[in-house]
Amino acid sequence: MQNFTNTIIQLFKYVLLPLALIWLLIKFFSTSRGKGMSADPIVNNTIDVIDNSIDKFGYFNRDHEPIFSVLEKLNSDQILKLHKDFGTRLHNPVTGQYKFFDTFGWRGYTVERNLVSIFTYEFDTEQLQRITALYMSKGVSFPLVKKII
């Protein structure tokens, strides 16, 4: 019986624990902000501006102004591509910042959000009206992002 217990302890210590640590490191680095890049350089720049504007402490309207400036330069196809290529981000609803790894929803501090979800969570009513009008002027509906025929 003592042999069996030692074997289990050895298995845990030298096999399972290192595998768990490797998995956590992979999970940590694979969910970073590098997700959601675009082959289109204009859309990719827009993603960078959005990431830099959103990933700040708090929910301040002045932080969001660069988003509107860069979105005004996009056409309808680029807006659709932006929403597709953006992917998702791990967002902390308490601080308004991105997280580099998922805390598995622990205490609600990590929410996986796409671009529409980030905009609707971060923007106030006036900014949501602005982005809706901006998208409509490009022939795209918001928050249900699709071309208006």
Q: What is the pTM of this model?
A: 0.70
pLDDT for res 32: 44
> CB neighbours of 58 closer than 8 A, spacing ≥ 6?
95, 96
pLDDT for res 119: 93
pLDDT for res 69: 95
pLDDT for res 30: 46
Q: CB-based burial of residue 58 (10 Å sphere; 0-12 exposed, 13-18 middle, 19+ buried)? A: exposed
Q: Which amino acid is at 71?
A: L
- Domain co-membership, 21 together with 49: no
- Which position has the higher pLDDT, 145 or 120? 120
Helices (H) and strands (E) in the chain, counts: 7, 4
Residue 103 corresponds to which tokens in the numbers above? 């805390």
- Domain co-membership, 80 together with 140: yes
Residue-wise pLDDT tens digits, 77-135:
999 999 999 998 888 777 777 766 555 555 557 788 899 999 998 899 999 999 999 99
pLDDT for res 59: 73
pLDDT for res 35: 58
Residue 3 corresponds to which tokens in the numbers above? 């042999």
- Our count of domains for the chain comes to 2
- Domain co-membership, 20 together with 58: no
- Domain co-membership, 19 together with 52: no
Q: What is the mean pLDDT of residues 47-55?
A: 89
- Domain co-membership, 130 together with 96: yes
Domain containing residue 79: 34-147
- Domain co-membership, 63 together with 127: yes
Residue-wise pLDDT tens digits, 3-40:
778 777 776 677 777 777 776 665 555 444 445 688 89
